[in-house]
Protein backbone atom coordinates (compact mmCIF):
# COMPACT_ATOMS: atom_id res chain seq x y z
CA UNK A 1 0.00 0.00 0.00
CA UNK A 2 2.95 2.30 0.57
CA UNK A 3 5.04 1.55 -2.51
CA UNK A 4 5.47 5.19 -3.33
CA UNK A 5 6.77 5.98 0.13
CA UNK A 6 9.34 3.19 -0.22
CA UNK A 7 10.79 4.94 -3.27
CA UNK A 8 11.09 8.21 -1.36
CA UNK A 9 12.71 6.64 1.68
CA UNK A 10 15.29 5.06 -0.62
CA UNK A 11 15.98 8.39 -2.31
CA UNK A 12 16.57 9.81 1.16
CA UNK A 13 19.04 7.00 1.84
CA UNK A 14 17.04 4.67 4.08
CA UNK A 15 17.35 0.92 3.69
CA UNK A 16 13.74 0.14 2.80
CA UNK A 17 12.06 -3.04 1.66
CA UNK A 18 8.63 -3.14 0.10
CA UNK A 19 6.89 -6.21 1.43
CA UNK A 20 4.30 -7.93 -0.73
CA UNK A 21 4.17 -11.33 0.96
CA UNK A 22 2.73 -12.86 4.06
CA UNK A 23 2.25 -10.57 7.11
CA UNK A 24 3.66 -13.07 9.60
CA UNK A 25 6.78 -13.56 7.54
CA UNK A 26 7.20 -9.77 7.29
CA UNK A 27 7.09 -9.48 11.08
CA UNK A 28 9.68 -12.23 11.47
CA UNK A 29 12.04 -10.55 9.01
CA UNK A 30 11.50 -7.14 10.61
CA UNK A 31 12.43 -8.62 13.97
CA UNK A 32 15.46 -10.46 12.63
CA UNK A 33 16.82 -7.51 10.63
CA UNK A 34 15.89 -4.85 13.18
CA UNK A 35 13.53 -3.06 10.80
CA UNK A 36 10.73 -0.64 11.48
CA UNK A 37 7.37 -1.43 9.91
CA UNK A 38 5.43 1.32 8.17
CA UNK A 39 1.89 0.28 7.40
CA UNK A 40 -1.59 1.53 6.75
CA UNK A 41 -3.05 -1.74 7.99
CA UNK A 42 -4.30 -1.46 11.55
CA UNK A 43 -4.24 -5.24 12.07
CA UNK A 44 -0.56 -5.43 11.07
CA UNK A 45 0.26 -2.46 13.31
CA UNK A 46 -1.39 -4.07 16.32
CA UNK A 47 0.26 -7.42 15.70
CA UNK A 48 3.69 -5.79 15.39
CA UNK A 49 3.13 -3.81 18.57
CA UNK A 50 2.20 -6.95 20.47
CA UNK A 51 5.39 -8.59 19.28
CA UNK A 52 7.59 -5.68 20.25
CA UNK A 53 8.47 -4.64 16.70
CA UNK A 54 8.71 -0.87 16.14
CA UNK A 55 5.82 0.11 13.91
CA UNK A 56 4.25 3.26 12.57
CA UNK A 57 0.68 3.21 11.40
CA UNK A 58 0.26 5.80 8.68
CA UNK A 59 -3.12 7.36 8.04
CA UNK A 60 -2.33 8.76 4.61
CA UNK A 61 -0.37 7.59 1.55
CA UNK A 62 0.24 11.19 0.55
CA UNK A 63 4.06 11.23 0.27
CA UNK A 64 4.94 14.56 1.96
CA UNK A 65 2.45 13.81 4.73
CA UNK A 66 3.76 10.25 5.27
CA UNK A 67 7.40 11.42 5.19
CA UNK A 68 6.66 14.12 7.76
CA UNK A 69 4.96 11.57 10.02
CA UNK A 70 7.90 9.17 9.69
CA UNK A 71 10.35 11.99 10.47
CA UNK A 72 8.31 12.89 13.52
CA UNK A 73 8.24 9.33 14.80
CA UNK A 74 11.75 8.14 13.99
CA UNK A 75 13.77 11.28 13.31
CA UNK A 76 14.56 10.47 9.67
CA UNK A 77 16.15 13.28 7.69
CA UNK A 78 14.03 15.01 5.06
CA UNK A 79 17.08 16.45 3.32
CA UNK A 80 18.44 14.78 0.21
CA UNK A 81 22.02 13.65 0.72
CA UNK A 82 23.77 12.73 -2.53
CA UNK A 83 26.25 10.51 -0.68
CA UNK A 84 23.73 8.27 1.01
CA UNK A 85 20.96 7.98 -1.57
CA UNK A 86 19.80 4.49 -2.60
CA UNK A 87 18.45 3.06 -5.82
CA UNK A 88 14.68 3.70 -5.83
CA UNK A 89 14.20 0.46 -7.78
CA UNK A 90 16.32 -2.08 -5.86
CA UNK A 91 17.42 -0.41 -2.60
CA UNK A 92 21.18 -0.66 -3.32
CA UNK A 93 23.32 2.31 -2.16
CA UNK A 94 24.13 4.34 -5.29
CA UNK A 95 27.62 5.31 -6.40
CA UNK A 96 27.98 8.98 -7.14
CA UNK A 97 29.93 10.09 -10.25
CA UNK A 98 29.92 13.87 -10.45
CA UNK A 99 26.34 14.80 -11.21
CA UNK A 100 25.27 11.20 -11.87
CA UNK A 101 24.54 8.14 -9.80
CA UNK A 102 24.91 4.54 -10.82
CA UNK A 103 23.37 1.42 -9.34
CA UNK A 104 25.82 -1.49 -9.30
CA UNK A 105 23.07 -4.02 -8.87
CA UNK A 106 20.42 -3.18 -11.46
CA UNK A 107 22.55 -0.96 -13.70
CA UNK A 108 20.20 2.02 -13.56
CA UNK A 109 21.66 5.47 -13.91
CA UNK A 110 20.22 8.61 -12.33
CA UNK A 111 20.87 12.30 -12.72
CA UNK A 112 19.33 15.57 -11.72
CA UNK A 113 16.89 16.23 -14.55
CA UNK A 114 13.57 17.99 -14.90
CA UNK A 115 11.92 15.58 -12.45
CA UNK A 116 14.24 17.02 -9.81
CA UNK A 117 12.00 20.08 -9.45
CA UNK A 118 9.18 17.80 -8.35
CA UNK A 119 11.42 15.85 -5.95
CA UNK A 120 12.63 19.06 -4.29
CA UNK A 121 9.11 20.43 -4.12
CA UNK A 122 7.75 17.32 -2.41
CA UNK A 123 10.65 17.21 0.06
CA UNK A 124 10.18 20.84 1.01
CA UNK A 125 6.46 20.17 1.40
CA UNK A 126 7.33 17.30 3.77
CA UNK A 127 9.66 19.59 5.75
CA UNK A 128 6.97 22.26 5.91
CA UNK A 129 4.41 19.79 7.35
CA UNK A 130 7.03 18.47 9.78
CA UNK A 131 7.97 21.93 11.06
CA UNK A 132 4.37 23.06 11.24
CA UNK A 133 3.43 20.07 13.42
CA UNK A 134 6.53 20.53 15.54
CA UNK A 135 5.57 24.13 16.26
CA UNK A 136 2.08 22.97 17.18
CA UNK A 137 3.62 20.49 19.59
CA UNK A 138 1.95 17.41 18.16
CA UNK A 139 3.70 14.11 18.50
CA UNK A 140 2.65 10.86 16.89
CA UNK A 141 4.41 8.84 19.59
CA UNK A 142 2.14 10.13 22.35
Footprint of Zn ion on this chain (CB under 5 A)? Answer: 87, 89-90, 92, 103, 105-106
Helix boundaries (H) for the chain: 3-11, 23-33, 42-50, 63-74, 115-136
DSSP character string of 94-134: PEEETTEEE-TTT--EEE--THHHHHHHHHHHHHHHHHHHH
Closest distance to Zn ion from the beta carbon of 40 (Å): 26
Q: Per DSSP, what are the bridge partners of residue 86?
A: 93
Listed in sequence order, the residues at least 6 apart from 79 whose beta carbon sits closer than 8 Å to its beta carbon are 12, 123, 127
Question: Which residue, 71 or 86, is less far from Zn ion as judged by CB?
Answer: 86
Closest distance to Zn ion from the beta carbon of 107 (Å): 7
Question: Which residue, 79 or 109, is less far from Zn ion as judged by CB?
Answer: 109
Query: Nearest to residue 67, comparing CAs of 142, 124, 137, 138?
Result: 124
Question: Which residue, 30 or 103, is less far from Zn ion as judged by CB?
Answer: 103
Closest distance to Zn ion from the beta carbon of 116 (Å): 18
Closest distance to Zn ion from the beta carbon of 95 (Å): 11
Question: Which residue, 89 or 112, is less far from Zn ion as judged by CB?
Answer: 89
Amino acid sequence: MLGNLVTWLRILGYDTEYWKGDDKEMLEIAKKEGRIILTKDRGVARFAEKNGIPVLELMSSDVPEALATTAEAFGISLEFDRKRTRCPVCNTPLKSYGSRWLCDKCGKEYWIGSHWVDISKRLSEARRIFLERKSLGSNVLK
